[in-house]
């Protein structure tokens, strides 16, 4: 017997609807299984064709590209050109001895720089922000190292530097060869306002304290 309010036609329609939904669900499951099997076959075929594959570690570049980000380019060639140009501008033939001050220790100041600047530099008025040690370097190596150090210091915004050239105890004739060369090179750099021989605690006759433009 049918429930009150439902005809045999209604029951048949309900039965057919349920059967149709079940058929659609079976077809969807079969299609998903077929797609999964096809993907697995494609993966196996690819692996057989190219051989073993080692996944790369994630580096985040793909995400950066998708987000519109771009890594900043490294101007390596420009930096190399600047180092070379600065090194070439430092000549061993330029005589700056006439510009060196000998009062109260060796010092140098560019034209227009007051003597008080040298005095403050000698007394440690500015904190040393960077240091370069030229010990053991040949002439060309030392010049290139100094040129690169000045360039890097300028980029970092450093003003007060220490350049250690040594006292020459290991040089032929026990003469500080790099000391005179470092003075010449520094005196030719437009970035150098002044330099002075370091005080005892800062290296004495084996080092120079250098002040760069602000």
- The 3-class SS string of the chain reads CCCCCCCHHHHHHHHHHHHHHHHHHHHHHHHHHHHHHHHHHHHHHHHHHHCCCCCCCCCCHHHHHHCCCCCCCCCHHHHHHHHHHHHHHCCCCCCCHHHEECCCCCEEECCCCCHHHHHHHHCCCCCCCEEEECCCCCHHHHHHHHHHHHHHHHHHCCCEEEEECCCCCCCHHHCCHHHHHHHHHHHHCCCEEEEEECCHHHCHHHEEEEEECC
- Residue 204: the pLDDT is 87
Say which CATH architecture domain 76-212 belongs to: 2-Layer Sandwich (3.30)
pLDDT of residue 91 exceeding 80: no
pLDDT of residue 14 exceeding 90: no
Using a pLDDT cut of 70, give the percent of the chain over it: 67
pLDDT of residue 98 exceeding 80: no
- Residue 171: the pLDDT is 54
In this predicted model, which residue has the larger pLDDT, 9 or 212? Answer: 212
- Residue 2: the pLDDT is 46
The band of 64, judged by pLDDT with boundaries at 50, 70 and 90, is: low
- Residue 116: the pLDDT is 92
136-192 pLDDT, tens digit each: 899 899 999 999 999 999 999 999 999 999 886 555 545 567 888 898 899 889 899
């Amino acid at each position: 017997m049918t429930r009150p309010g439902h005809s045999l036609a209604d029951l048949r329609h309900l039965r057919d609807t349920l059967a149709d939904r079940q058929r659609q669900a079976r077809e969807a499951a079969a299609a998903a299984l077929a797609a999964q099997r096809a993907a697995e076959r494609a993966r196996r075929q690819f692996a057989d064709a190219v051989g073993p594959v080692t996944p790369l570690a994630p580096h985040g570049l793909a995400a950066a590209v998708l987000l519109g980000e771009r890594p900043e380019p490294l101007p390596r060639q420009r930096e190399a050109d600047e180092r070379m140009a600065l090194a070439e501008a430092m000549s061993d033939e330029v005589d700056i001895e006439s510009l060196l001050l000998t009062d109260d220790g060796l010092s140098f100041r560019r034209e227009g720089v007051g003597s008080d600047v040298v005095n403050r530099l000698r007394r440690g008025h500015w904190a040393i922000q960077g240091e370069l040690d030229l010990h053991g370097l040949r002439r060309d190596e030392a010049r290139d190292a100094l040129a690169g150090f000045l360039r890097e210091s300028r980029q970092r915004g450093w003003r007060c530097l220490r350049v250690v050239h040594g006292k020459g105890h290991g040089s032929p004739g026990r003469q500080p060869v790099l000391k005179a060369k470092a003075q010449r090179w520094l005196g030719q750099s437009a970035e150098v306002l002044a330099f002075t021989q370091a005080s005892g605690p800062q290296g004495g006759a084996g080092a120079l304290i250098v002040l760069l433009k602000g």
